[in-house]
């Protein structure tokens, strides 16, 4: 169980738990190649995110054993269209995402920098 500590709303101390949308069979970006804008839209829900604001007592949580449930957070859909990240209200995911242990893609996924402030990079 991940507990998120911070002093929200006095500070923007928020944790984001990101996963590809495992409800979509082919969840890879529509367009990705060097020197071209990234398009990863997939019906405006390519990436599922559980957003949790930090509290002084760590009351807000996210269950890393199932990647489905949490307390005190909200679900969002993130997608990228022509290099622009858009965040919309989402709903709880209804499947188990690909994990490092069960990586059938036999690939490495990196997100930099970690933690990030305004911009992050995804490398597959």
pLDDT digits (tens, 9 = 90+) for 96-119: 654 444 555 556 667 776 666 677
Question: How would DSSP label each residue in the chain?
Answer: -EE-BS-TTTS--EEEEEEE-TTSSS-S-SB--TTS--BB-TTTTSEEEEEEE-BTT---EE-TTTSS-EESEEEEEEEEETTEEEEEE-----SPPP-STT-TT----EEESSS-SS--EEE-
The pLDDT, as a whole number, for residue 100 is 46
The pLDDT, as a whole number, for residue 106 is 58
Decide if pLDDT at 123 tops 80. Answer: no
Residue range 84-97, pLDDT digits in tens: 999 999 988 877 65
Residue range 3-55, pLDDT digits in tens: 999 999 899 899 999 988 888 888 888 888 888 888 898 888 889 999 999 99
Backbone torsions φ then ψ of 31, nearest 5 degrees = -140, 120
Higher pLDDT, 79 or 98: 79
| pTM of structure | 0.72
CA atoms of 37 and 52, how far apart (whole Å): 29
């Amino acid at each position: 169980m991940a507990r998120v500590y911070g002093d929200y709303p006095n500070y923007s101390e928020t944790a984001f738990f990101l996963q590809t949308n495992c409800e979509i069979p082919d969840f890879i970006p529509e367009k990705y190649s060097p020197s071209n804008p990234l398009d990863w839209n997939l019906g405006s829900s390519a990436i599922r995110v559980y957003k949790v604001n930090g509290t002084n007592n760590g009351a807000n949580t996210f269950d890393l054993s199932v990647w489905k449930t949490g307390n005190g957070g909200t679900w969002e859909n993130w997608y990228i269209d022509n290099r622009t990240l858009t965040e919309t209200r989402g709903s709880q995911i209804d499947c188990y995402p690909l994990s490092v242990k069960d990586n059938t893609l036999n690939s490495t996924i990196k997100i930099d920098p970690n933690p990030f402030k305004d911009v992050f990079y995804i490398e597959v």
